[in-house]
């Protein structure tokens, strides 16, 4: 599948992975392979319904930008707070009613 081809290539030289405009329904667990090199993750325009607890399990230590806009996200797990270098978190155009308190744990957000 095309979306897996995009993922298999890994981050670009600037640390970005663009998985937007596909049919992703969940965050791919393969992202954990890039926990020390992934800086910017673009997953807008997919079919995501949540940011699950697994975001914390991915231990995205260096992640600075996460764009999950234009999905169908209803819930964001508090584990997002483990992405402590997160500076930009775009969740526009989703179905989110509340943000988890742990989001404040992201020191740079």
pLDDT tens, position by position, 53-68: 877 766 667 889 999 9
Please write the tens of the pLDDT for every residue from 20-41: 999 999 988 888 888 889 999 9
Q: Residue 6 — pLDDT band, cuts 50, 70, 90?
A: confident
- Contact, 11 vs 37, CB < 8 A? yes
SS3 of 16, please?
strand
Kindly report the pTM of this predicted structure.
0.88
């Amino acid at each position: 599948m095309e979306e897996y081809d995009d993922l298999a290539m890994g981050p670009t030289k600037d640390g970005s992975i663009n998985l937007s405009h596909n049919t992703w329904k969940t965050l791919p667990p393969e992202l954990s392979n890039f926990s020390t090199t992934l800086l910017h993750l673009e997953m807008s325009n997919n079919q995501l319904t949540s940011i699950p607890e697994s975001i914390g399990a991915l231990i995205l230590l260096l992640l600075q930008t996460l764009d999950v806009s234009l999905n169908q996200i209803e819930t964001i797990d508090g584990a997002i707070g483990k992405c402590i270098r997160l500076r930009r978190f775009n969740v526009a155009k989703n179905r989110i009613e509340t943000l988890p308190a742990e989001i404040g744990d992201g020191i740079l957000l």
